[in-house]
């Protein structure tokens, strides 16, 4: 792999990651409880093609996302490290046990099977791949925080997420450093489209989906 465009930034980003051995004990989730607790989320996340308003973009797909990544994201909405007023209210009304249950339900029982990357990767993917894989499904190393699956996510959601890391609205230290290394809006859009176009287990978490 080559990290020419952003070697320094990459080192900083990797420095803020810990490996799994040092991982804090996470609450074990109960998927059956999680299914019931997810009921209030269906109005947005359970509807194919549902969109956020102002700004307009697709609500993210959650079914088969890594449980650890879902919990990490929800905690960031709770603390405000990710800004979104509805998601802040939703995450603040849930206990850590609720988050673990919902995440266990959404991830489901099947492990994600690796698939080969598809399409021409923009040069910067060489850097992203250290954590997200070239196929957007992640890497074997037990990284903490757990990087989310990007493959098959809505391109416009990935694009707005990257823009939010880059302009400081999302405060995650790892991704802020990475996104600041993306030179232009056009490069940012290409990365979002590349990862959205990869083979993926991610789908909309409609009622009863498994
Ligand atoms: C009013 C619509 C709405 C409701 C209700 C809602 N969400 Fe969300 N959710 C969103 C939007 C929009 C985003 C993307 C926010 C952003 O840009 O960061 C989001 C983001 C997320 C993410 C981050 C996904 C990722 O890939 O990082 C998770 C996890 C999530 N929601 C879980 C839930 C859960 C669990 C509930 C119910 C307790 C819920 N949401 C209720 C609209 C909603
Ligand atoms: C050092 C590891 C690492 C590298 C390298 C990395 N990421 Fe990430 N990425 C993460 C982590 C961890 C998160 C979760 C951050 C959070 O909680 O908001 C994440 C989140 C994201 C998200 C938000 C997804 C969602 O569902 O909200 C996008 C988009 C993303 N990364 C794209 C990229 C791109 C494009 C690159 C290359 C330019 C890249 N990442 C490089 C670790 C990494």
pLDDT digits (tens, 9 = 90+) for 148-166: 999 999 999 999 999 999 9
Tens digits of per-residue pLDDT, 103-151? 999 999 888 889 999 999 999 999 999 999 999 999 999 998 899 999 9
Q: Which residue has the higher pLDDT, 71 or 7?
A: 71
Which region holds residue 152: left if phi is over 0, alpha if psi is between -120 and 50, else beta? left
Confidence of residue 9 (pLDDT cuts 50, 70, 90): low
Residue 104 · residue 67 · CB < 8 Å: yes
| 87 CB near ligand 1 (under 6 Å) | yes
Q: What is the pLDDT of residue 2?
A: 35
CA of 174 to the centre of ligand 1 (A): 21
Confidence of residue 209 (pLDDT cuts 50, 70, 90): confident
Place of tokens 């790892």: 174
Q: What is the pLDDT of residue 208?
A: 86
Output phi, psi for 177, to 5 deg. Answer: -60, -45
Q: Which residue has the higher pLDDT, 17 or 24?
A: 17
| 177 CB near ligand 2 (under 6 Å) | no
**Mean predicted lDDT score pLDDT of the chain:** 90
| 17 CB near ligand 2 (under 6 Å) | yes
Residue 204 · residue 61 · CB < 8 Å: yes
Determine the Cα angle at 72 with ends 74 and 123, to 5°: 115
Residues 6+ apart with CB under 8 A from 85: none
Q: What is the pLDDT of residue 105?
A: 97
CA of 15 to the centre of ligand 2 (A): 15
Lowest mean pLDDT among 24-33, 116-125, 153-162, 185-194: 24-33
Residue 63 · residue 107 · CB < 8 Å: no
Residue 126 · residue 139 · CB < 8 Å: no
* Nearest Cα to Cα of residue 146 among 13, 1, 5, 20: 20
- Statement: residue 184 has pLDDT above 50: yes
Q: What is the pLDDT of residue 16?
A: 55
Confidence of residue 13 (pLDDT cuts 50, 70, 90): low
- Mean pLDDT, residues 72-93: 97
| 196 CB near ligand 1 (under 6 Å) | no
Q: How many Cβ atoms sit within 10 Å of the Cβ of residue 17? A: 15
- Mean pLDDT, residues 168-195: 96
- Mean pLDDT, residues 170-187: 96
């Amino acid at each position: 792999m080559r990290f020419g465009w952003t070697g320094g930034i990459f080192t900083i980003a990797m420095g803020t990651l810990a490996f799994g051995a040092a991982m804090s004990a996470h609450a074990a989730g109960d998927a059956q409880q999680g299914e019931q607790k997810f009921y209030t989320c269906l109005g947005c996340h359970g509807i194919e093609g549902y969109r956020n308003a102002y700004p307009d973009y697709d609500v993210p797909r959650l079914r088969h996302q890594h449980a650890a990544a879902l919990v990490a994201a929800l905690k960031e909405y709770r603390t405000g490290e990710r800004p979104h007023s509805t998601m802040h209210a939703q995450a603040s009304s849930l206990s850590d046990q609720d988050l673990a249950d919902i995440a266990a339900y959404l991830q489901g029982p099947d492990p994600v099977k690796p698939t080969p990357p598809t399409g021409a990767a923009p040069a910067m993917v060489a850097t992203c791949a250290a954590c997200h894989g070239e196929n957007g499904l992640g890497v074997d190393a037990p990284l903490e925080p757990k990087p989310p699956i990007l493959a098959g996510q809505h391109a416009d959601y990935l694009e707005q997420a990257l823009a939010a890391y880059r302009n400081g609205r999302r405060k995650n230290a790892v991704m802020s450093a990475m996104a600041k290394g993306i030179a232009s809006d056009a490069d940012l859009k290409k990365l979002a489209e590349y990862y959205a176009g990869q083979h993926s287990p991610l789908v909309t978490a409609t009622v009863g989906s498994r």
